[in-house]
Amino acid sequence: MNAQVLPDASDELLLRLQRFHADYFPLHQQRFQDLVAQGQHPKTLFIGCSDSRLVPYLLTGTGPGELFIVRNVGALVPPYDGSHGLHGTMAGIEFAVLQLHVQRIIVCGHSHCGAIRTAYEGAPEEAKALQSWLKLADEALLPVRPSPEALLRTEQRSVVLQLERLMDYPMVRREVQAGRLTLHGWHYVIEEGEVHVFDVQRGDFVPASQSSHSGTGPFPPYVEHDGQIIAD
């Protein structure tokens, strides 16, 4: 006779896994099985900060199969330097563009970003990789004391900087220029519950509630949602 294995009631993670299987999965079983049978065809690559307060599925009202997500400290994009090193973010971008043929890339930073603050204040001495990584935000830093206003502006400047780096990826540039891929810069203001989208015409971030679009990449051609391509 097999002894019954009783779950450890203090193991919160185990309880959540069991709840997913017992409660959530049965309600969405068909969707998951379709995604297995037909494969995933997400239209969007979401490059976001790892911050626990940034929840891409909530912001975009999406579910399984809709977002291909790459997250890292600061929502940073490494430069396409041809080194082809062991770089997860770079590999994710290549996978999304060349194999999944996504139609949109979102770079999403956010308010109160610890990565941006650390870029000003310095990472712990032992965190060598973090020190190197945060150099990818250096160009966005302002020559001022990191006040709340300066931090917010830096978070936004960093989003635009990463979009510019994306355009150095040959496969990204090619698809954008062909009108098959659009880039979107987002800055999520946690305390307002609102994403501010980058608007290239205004050269600024606009609250989504007051915007006519979900963010324009800083690069032509700009493809509007009705498919119209607007030349530079």
Shorter beta-carbon distance to Zn ion: residue 49 or 195:
49
Nearest distance from C-beta of residue 74 to Zn ion, angstroms: 6
Q: How far is the CB of 92 from Zn ion (least distance, A)?
A: 17
Q: Which is nearer to Zn ion, 47 or 176 (CB)?
A: 47
Residue 77 CB partners (closer than 8 Å, separation 6+): 47, 89, 93, 107, 136, 162, 165, 166
The region of 6-14, 43-51, 78-86, 140-148 touching Zn ion under the rule CB under 5 A is 43-51
Residue 87, helix vs strand vs coil: coil
| Residue count, binding to Zn ion (CB under 5 A) | 4
152 binding Zn ion? (CB under 5 A): no
What distance in Å separates the CA atoms of residue 120 and residue 112, rounded to the nearest whole number? 13
Among 45, 49, 108, 140, binds Zn ion (CB under 5 A): 49
Alpha helices for the chain (secondary structure H): 12-19, 25-38, 56-60, 88-94, 114-121, 128-134, 148-166, 170-177
Tell me if 115 contacts Zn ion by CB under 5 A: yes
Is residue 51 at the binding interface for Zn ion, with CB under 5 A as the rule? yes
Q: Which two tokens stand for residue 25?
A: 């999965």
Instruction: Figure out which of the listed residues 70, 113, 176, 181 binds Zn ion, where binding follows CB under 5 A.
Output: 113
For the chain, give the longest Cα–Cα distance. 74
Ranges within 64-103 binding Zn ion (CB under 5 A): none
Q: Which residues bind Zn ion (CB under 5 A)?
A: 49, 51, 113, 115
